[in-house]
């Protein structure tokens, strides 16, 4: 099922076979550099995570969805929502390095943020990143998010940006 779309991308529900296409996003050191402690996922961890996203998506409706590039139909990343910092909902993204620097993460995140504010009426969204992850911080700012605080998360210093739902 199609979740949302932009000029160059669309987001859809996960299917079990996506684990193979997602593998580069869970094992490439360039992608993982600013994610947690940068440890690659095993194939079993990837399969388990995607199975979890499928189930949570069915139950709750919102998750981190696969981002598909229209031009080549490649699964190039994910973007969506995560509940890792209750009571807040976090918007997050991750793209393959060969698609970096094209504005695609901003494009996906803009569409997803608007969709979340409209469809689920989230009162606000946060986004969390390591302060060294300048690309993600720029995306947060382009989304109109504002710096909120710094805090340790799983032994790593992170920054939190937030945006209030303008439709409420």
User: pLDDT tens digits for 106-130?
Assistant: 999 999 999 999 999 999 999 999 9
Note whether residue 63 is domain-resident: yes
Average pLDDT over residues 26-45: 92
The number of helices, as runs of H, and strands, as runs of E, in the chain is 5, 8
pLDDT, averaged across the chain: 96
Give the torsion sign (CA, 113, 114, 118, 123).
positive
Note whether residue 64 is domain-resident: yes
CB 88 within 8 A of CB 124: yes
User: pLDDT tens digits for 45-98?
Assistant: 999 999 999 999 999 999 999 999 999 999 999 999 999 899 999 999 999 999
Note whether residue 143 is domain-resident: no
CA–CA dist 152, 125 (Å, integer): 19
What's the domain range around 38? 2-122
Note whether residue 87 is domain-resident: yes
Q: How confident is the model at residue 37 (pLDDT cuts 50, 70, 90)?
A: confident
Q: Please give the full DSSP string across 33-74, using - where no structure is assigned.
A: TTSTT-PPPPHHHHHHHHHHHHHHHHHHS--EEEEEETTT--
Q: What is the CATH number of the domain that holds 11?
A: 3.40.630.30
Supply the pLDDT for residue 117.
98
Tell me how crowded residue 37 is: count the other CB atoms within 10 A of its CB.
Answer: 8
Q: How confident is the model at residue 12 (pLDDT cuts 50, 70, 90)?
A: very high
Note whether residue 83 is domain-resident: yes
Tokens 């229209």 map to which residue? 70
Give the count of alpha carbons within 13 A of 14, CB side only.
Answer: 30
User: pLDDT tens digits for 136-160?
Assistant: 999 999 999 999 999 999 889 999 9
Note whether residue 164 is domain-resident: no
Instruction: Give how many domains the chain has, as a whole number.
Output: 1
pTM tops 0.85, yes or no: yes
């Amino acid at each position: 099922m199609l979740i949302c779309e932009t000029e160059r991308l669309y987001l859809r529900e996960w299917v079990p076979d996506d684990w193979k296409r997602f593998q580069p996003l869970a094992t490439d050191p360039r992608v993982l550099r600013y994610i947690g402690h940068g440890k690659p996922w095993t194939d079993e961890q990837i399969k388990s995570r995607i199975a979890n996203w499928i189930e949570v998506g069915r139950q709750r409706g919102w998750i981190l969805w696969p981002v598909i590039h229209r031009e080549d139909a490649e699964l190039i990343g994910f973007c969506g929502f995560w509940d890792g910092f209750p009571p807040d909902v976090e918007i997050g993204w991750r793209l393959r390095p060969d698609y970096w620097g094209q504005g695609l993460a901003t494009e996906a995140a803009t569409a997803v943020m608007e969709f979340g504010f409209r469809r689920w009426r989230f009162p606000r969204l946060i986004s969390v990143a390591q302060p060294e992850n300048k690309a993600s911080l720029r995306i947060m700012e382009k989304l109109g998010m504002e710096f909120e605080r710094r805090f340790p998360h799983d032994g790593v210093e992170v920054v939190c940006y937030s945006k209030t739902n303008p439709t409420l």
